[in-house]
Chains A and B, each alone.
Chain A
Amino acid sequence: MLVVRRREGESVLIGDDIEVVVLEASANRVKLGITAPREILVFRKELELTREQNRMAASADGLALSRLAGALDTLRPQRRTGVKEN
């Protein structure tokens, strides 16, 4: 991994047509501005992680479910219940 130190207002270029500029930096977060061609998708990594996780979640089958139900049975007495009661 390439590591580059930058200050506010400075930027890095990726290839010919992508620029990432540091707009604001504080102790625990930075605000980035990204200029890229329309065909380059830019999104937070958490979105991709959630997309992958959702796909995996959707592929569950009855077997996975019965295993889960069995495991939950042993826990049930001390668990909270119900979607509207949480």
Chain B
Amino acid sequence: MPDCLTKYFSKMDYTEDSVIRLPNGLPGFEHESEFVLIDQPQNRPLVFVQSLRTPDLCFVALPVLSVDSAYGLSVSSEDLEALGLDSTRQPVIGTDVACLAILSFGEDTLMTANLLAPVVINLKTCVAVQAIQPGSNYSHRHPLLSEEAEPVCS
């Protein structure tokens, strides 16, 4: 089993089917094209998106449906093509794709999820893109948990 160095879990084994490939990388990290999804029962629903190339690069994410159970995908036809999916219909979360919102931690302890641009993963091929959805009204800084502990999660 291959192993890799990680930001939060030191060295760990991973399986090939937990690797996602982003042909274009992520905005701001265009050269990072391979990540391991670390989805451990004790940390659920958190998913760690660990770069295979850079041990110190690991995003923390949540399934979009954990953040907003009514979340609606509107992936552009270019992104659908990049994912190798039918570009005439929207993919179904859980059946066609997995969909993760990357979390950010502000200086003011506010935690936010990027619902504007989720990481969409083709479940069959594990090819992924960070799909910016310009037509949606979702925020790139959707408040997740604030100091007042008023959870937006459901």
Contacts and interface: CB of A to CB of B under 8 A. Distances in A.
A26 interface: no
Interface in A57-86: 57-58, 60, 62, 64-65, 67-69, 71-72, 74-76, 78-86
Interface stretch (A11-19, A31-39, A45-53): A45-53
Interface string B54-97: 00011110011110010000000000000000000000011000
A26 to B, nearest CB: 13
A27 interface: no
A7 interface: no
A68 B28 contact: no
Contacts of B94: 84-86
Contacts of A85: 63, 94
Contacts of A46: 116-117, 132-134, 140
A47 B27 contact: yes
Contacts of B123: 84
Nearest to B54: A58
A86 B97 CA distance: 9
A64 B105 contact: yes
**Interface SS, A side:** helix
Contacts, number: 124
B2 interface: no
A83 B59 contact: no
Given A53-B141, A75-B153, A82 B63 contact: yes
Which of B8, B43, B60, B65 has the most C-beta atoms of chain A within 10 angstroms of its own C-beta?
B60
Given A69-B43, A82-B45, A58 B59 contact: yes
A75 B27 CA distance: 31
Given A51-B28, A60-B105, A84 B65 contact: no
Nearest to B69: A80
Contacts of B145: 68, 71-72
28 contacts: A44-B132, A46-B117, A46-B132, A47-B27, A49-B117, A53-B102, A53-B104, A53-B117, A53-B140, A54-B29, A54-B114, A55-B28, A56-B104, A56-B105, A56-B106, A57-B103, A58-B28, A60-B103, A68-B105, A72-B46, A75-B151, A75-B153, A81-B66, A82-B45, A83-B98, A84-B123, A85-B63, A86-B99
